[in-house]
A and B are shown apart, each in its own frame.
Chain A
């Protein structure tokens, strides 16, 4: 199941989108999320569709892969679609079967809202597909930097995220090991009522937490031994490079916004 999930997965291929500065990608996506709600007619939705398809094309990620990964989300989209079809009663009546009445306005609304949802999903998953988690962290840190002035712990937050990311596979391995150890002692994780299963998780979580705390303490010691004394006076090894492609991306978004405002 984990293999099929594409949310939060990074696909290491070469593409213009992969080369983009994570800050530009984050900004683009924030603006995109905002402007998606401006679209209200066929023309504006067409524009959004063109933008989304262009982004997918530029990412070099196989469309088939993208759609397969988002398959389970189609049900949610379908659900919103039917919700609008059945409950929006505007415009001409198109079809009537018993108590089911489908209106033109409902159909329109259903299609538009589902499309909106669909575009958002595609574009946001493109972010994680083309950007490594650590790049996203760097991007967030850099974008939040102004907040440092009001005392927001920007550096600490980004360090926390990066350490959390680094330890995910380690803790996954550990969970697996503990699970096997407990299974060897007769704990059954896969059978029984929900209550029984929830209970079976306890002997899994307790050793995991104890170990995680132990790791945290050792890690803190190791960090101190290597001279860590907070964000003050630290230099950065990973470099963010704002290039032409990022300017183009922001410009494109700008033009898209203006067009949407004019054509709506």
Chain B
């Protein structure tokens, strides 16, 4: 793995954005082990998250990406190093303030549904924060409307699809008005329709409320649409950069146990056959547009 450090890409983040955006999360030399005798889940991890960006953290199973999510919300504490959220270091004392700022959507739609009905579930977090009832009713309705689940107020969880349950989970997080939302593999148990439903909702909400989104995923397809990507490997940050930068790594990503999206494979084939495709084209729809234009020229 000594090769890893050498191919590690320089952090190329758009200069103008950097001066504008405020750092909202910082990991500083974070080390974590789940068990005394186990190997490091995270080993000397450093990175920052900026306000209003969509950051994707990708990596194979056991690369430490989910550990990052749990650390960011104070569900576990680092063995050494520090984590700052909005300037505050996470510790036993500050953990509840941090949780107010950081909302989390987990992988399994069923295992994060606490209430017996949709509205009860959204209210659960608000009840925990001791919010007065009139305010609760307002927030429950507002946040369910935002994820387009306000038709299902009294629906029970077993009558909802996975995508709908995840949207309720997003609404429950949203009702608490966080600054950051972490999606911890939130779409991995959904069918393609549910997945695009959930991601579309998150994107809309992000733009509307200037949220910071950290999506933790092993699906590069999902990561393509992020502003910035962090590739994790064996508990360390392997690479960091824009999706365009990361996809230049190509075969290395496959070696890391990640699956290159179909669009990227296609672009590569085109390039191999001597067609020029600009680097900023990453998405399927943009590629289709570009190819159509190319076809017209011929």
Measuring CB to CB, which residues of chain A are less than 8 angstroms from any residue of chain B? 133-134, 162-163, 165-166, 169-170, 173, 214-215, 218-219, 221-229, 233-239
Contacts and interface: CB of A to CB of B under 8 A. Distances in A.
Contacts of B173: 226
Nearest to A174: B110
B99 A227 contact: yes
B170 interface: no
Contacts, number: 96
Nearest to A173: B158
Contacts of A214: 111
B157 A225 contact: no
Contacts of A227: 96, 99-100, 125, 128-129, 176
B68 interface: no
Contacts of B277: none
Contact of A162 (B108, B116, B132): B116
Contacts of B157: 166, 169-170
A166 B114 contact: yes
Given A225-B73, A235-B132, A237-B140, 19 more contacts: A166-B157, A170-B110, A215-B110, A218-B108, A219-B111, A219-B112, A222-B106, A224-B99, A225-B75, A226-B124, A227-B96, A227-B129, A229-B96, A233-B130, A234-B128, A235-B136, A237-B126, A237-B127, A239-B133
**9 shortest A-B CB distances, which residue pairs?**
A237-B123, A222-B112, A226-B125, A218-B111, A169-B158, A227-B128, A225-B104, A233-B130, A166-B116
Contacts of B70: 221
B51 interface: no
Dominant SS among interface residues on chain A:
helix
Contacts of A229: 96, 128
Dominant SS among interface residues on chain B:
helix
A118 to B, nearest CB: 32
A231 to B, nearest CB: 10
Counting chain B residues whose Cβ lies within 8 A of the other chain, the interface size class is: 35 or more
B96 A221 contact: no
B106 A237 contact: no
A228 B158 contact: no
Contacts of A170: 110, 157-158
A238 B120 contact: yes
A229 B108 CA distance: 22
B236 interface: no
B72 to A, nearest CB: 10
Contact of B114 (A163, A173, A238): A163
B197 interface: no
Nearest to A224: B75
A225 B105 CA distance: 9
Contacts of B128: 226-229, 234
B111 A222 contact: yes
Contacts of B259: none
B27 interface: no
A221 B114 contact: no
Contacts of B132: 235
Contacts of B100: 227
A233 B125 CA distance: 12
Given A235-B132, A236-B133, A239-B133, A222 B114 contact: yes
A171 to B, nearest CB: 10
A237 B127 CA distance: 7
A237 B100 CA distance: 19
B115 interface: yes
